[in-house]
Amino acid sequence: MFRLTSFVLLLTAFFAACQSDQPADQPSETAQKQMDAGIDTLTGAPQRLPNPWLDKGCDLVTDAEVQQLFGIEPQRDVFNARTLKGQTFCLRSWMKPNWKEIDNANEKPGAKYKEYKNSLIINLLDYGTEVVAREQFDMAKRTRKDLYEKEINDLADGALWSSSSNTLMLKKRHLFVSITIEYADTDEDNLAKAREVANLALKKM
């Protein structure tokens, strides 16, 4: 009986010591590593990360920031902003300073059409997990070189530029930000401005 009691006391002391080493409210080392990596500790599957920008597409880069960046006077330039409910999408448009001359020139016989309005479209795609987003980004680099011909390594987790559509697509964790701009006369100038827009968005992400 004494031996059994001693054994129980020793066993109790052992579990008490274990509990003191590993508090009940603290995850194990393995579980902590999984959580740090964004892995569900029960299923082992990547956890879907939140999208804080849903229905806030025009907050990623605000109207005020766009107006300052492009030197827009809202009334003079007929500034307009539109978003889509349930998405992370924002379209801004405003007139070029010489839009009347451009419009008149477009009306002449045989004239090559030139856009008289500037536009900036910001669209955010949520891939849920960093793993899926990375796979999609790598696939775009491999298979869409006909569209995204330039790779940019100094923005977020990586970015791609399409001169044919004036679109800068960048990856930030599980999110893609697509910035389409119709502003300058050259691809290089449009890309430079798109990068400025991207940096404004990244400060908030």
The string of pLDDT tens digits covering residues 54-75 is 889 899 999 999 999 999 999 9
| Segment 23-52 mean pLDDT | 64
Residue type, 152: I
What DSSP character marks residue 102? H
Residue 42 lies in a domain: no
Per the structure, the complete domain to which residue 10 belongs is given by: 2-36
| Segment 77-91 mean pLDDT | 93
pLDDT of residue 19: 44
Cα separation of 144 and 137, whole Å?
A: 10
Same domain, 82 and 140: yes
Q: Are 128 and 167 in contact (CB under 8 A)?
A: no
Same domain, 30 and 126: no
Residue 170 lies in a domain: yes
Residue 79 lies in a domain: yes
Residue 57 lies in a domain: no
Same domain, 31 and 101: no
Same domain, 17 and 104: no
Same domain, 97 and 145: yes
Residue 53 lies in a domain: no
Q: How far is CA 73 from the centre of its chain?
A: 28
Same domain, 119 and 30: no
Same domain, 27 and 76: no
| Better pLDDT: 17 or 140 | 140
Same domain, 190 and 89: yes
Cα separation of 96 and 48, whole Å?
A: 42
Residue 43 lies in a domain: no
Helix (H, G, I), strand (E, B) or coil at 31: helix
Exposed e or buried b per residue across 92-112, where buried means at least 16 C-beta atoms within 10 angstroms of its C-beta: bbbbbeebeebeeeeeeeeee
Residue 52 lies in a domain: no
Helix (H, G, I), strand (E, B) or coil at 104: helix
Number of domains in the chain: 2
Same domain, 153 and 97: yes
Answer yes or no: is pLDDT of 188 > 70: yes
DSSP string, 119-180: EEEEEEEE-SSHHHHHHHHHHHHHH-TTT--EEE-SSTT-EEEETTTTEEEEEETTEEEEEE
Answer yes or no: is pLDDT of 184 > 80: yes
Q: Are 168 and 153 in contact (CB under 8 A)?
A: no
Same domain, 68 and 15: no
Residue 51 lies in a domain: no
Same domain, 125 and 172: yes
**What's the mean per-residue pLDDT of the chain?**
83
CATH of residue 198: 3.40.1000
Same domain, 74 and 175: yes
